[in-house]
Amino acid sequence: MGQLIDGVWHDTETKEVKKDGQFVRNASAFRNWVTPSGTPGPSGSGGFKAEAGRYHLYVSYACPWAHRAMIYLSVLGLKHVIDVSVVHPVNLENGWEFADYPGATADRIGDARYLYEVYVRSDPTYTGKVTVPILWDKETGTIVNNESSEVMRMLGGEAFQPLAQSWADFYPPEHQGEIDKLNDLIYGAINNGVYRTGFSQSQEAYETGVTAMFEAFDWLDERLGQSRFLCGDRPVESDWRLFTSMIRFEPVYYFHFKCNVRQLTDYPNLRRHTRDVLNQPGVRETVHADHIVDHYYLAHRRINPYGIIPAGAAVDYDGPNWSAPHIEEKKAC
């Protein structure tokens, strides 16, 4: 997928596979926070005050990590506060690109052709991966943060609350401990677990990843038999994190990453949860199946060198199987 080394693009992969074949994701590099007054947040430096029109999001509709940020932007009513640039879904030898594709856009801030130019604009000597989402500060001309979990927390936190048109607390104090535990499970076994499985380079590494994933599915399906969402009758942060992986499971992860021990339909509560989240106000508009399918099958050439898209990858999220259901009452956790 390529990387920047001292501000120069190289079409070489970063080292994210250990000797035993295990995939290990590198940490994000930009970790500043937008805060109500511009004081420093939990990490990084200060100077980033929450203001309407000051910030910009770079995203890919294909990417589950960027999808998290897009969901928060939509469901919290922040699209009038933060504008967006969307890359072409198929990132090849030059990485993510601003090019013609339905739903993709130009770079609306600096007229870059490739996303790596945005990183170099922020740090001319940057070394590392070029990923989305990027929260960009127009005022200082720099990347604030490119860690999706932290971008979620910022968009859903006190900094942007006064600017949101439909704000909701997805990290309520009474559930924070449980949410943190759920996030750890979902990230390790599912969000990152699909990549651990799909990018594994040994049978042992693959079996470790896929076993952990389906054990997590078993546990989550049982939990969701007790409540509509993971912590009761309304979504919390963990529900959104789980959703961005599960909405990609049927068209991509089951086939492309060999996550095929069981199908999503074998987990009635987990599938119902995915459908319920999809039908929350503002979510469906963030799901672009064409971007998702084309990205994974056409960009991952080491896994799928001929770019063949399986017939079963065509999932109609606008069809009756994914429409809003009659909601049955379930007790809260």
HSE-CB at 28 with a 13 A cutoff on CA atoms is: 22
195 in active site: yes
Q: Which two tokens stand for residue 162?
A: 């006064």
Question: Is residue 58 a contact partner of residue 148, using CB atoms and an 8 Å limit?
Answer: no
55, 58, 61, 63: which is the annotated catalytic residue?
Answer: 63
Contacts of residues 175-184 at CB distance under 8 Å and 24 or more positions apart, as own/partner, are: 175/231, 175/232, 175/236, 178/231, 178/333, 179/231, 179/236, 179/237, 179/238, 182/230, 182/231, 182/238, 183/149, 183/237, 183/238, 183/241
Q: Which two tokens stand for residue 171?
A: 């990290």
63 in active site: yes
171, 187, 195, 317: which is the annotated catalytic residue?
Answer: 195
Phi, psi (rounded to 5 degrees) for 232? 130, -140
Q: How far apart are CA 162 and CA 197, in angstroms?
A: 41
Among 316, 312, 202, 328, smallest CA distance to 276 is for: 328
- The catalytic residues are 63, 195
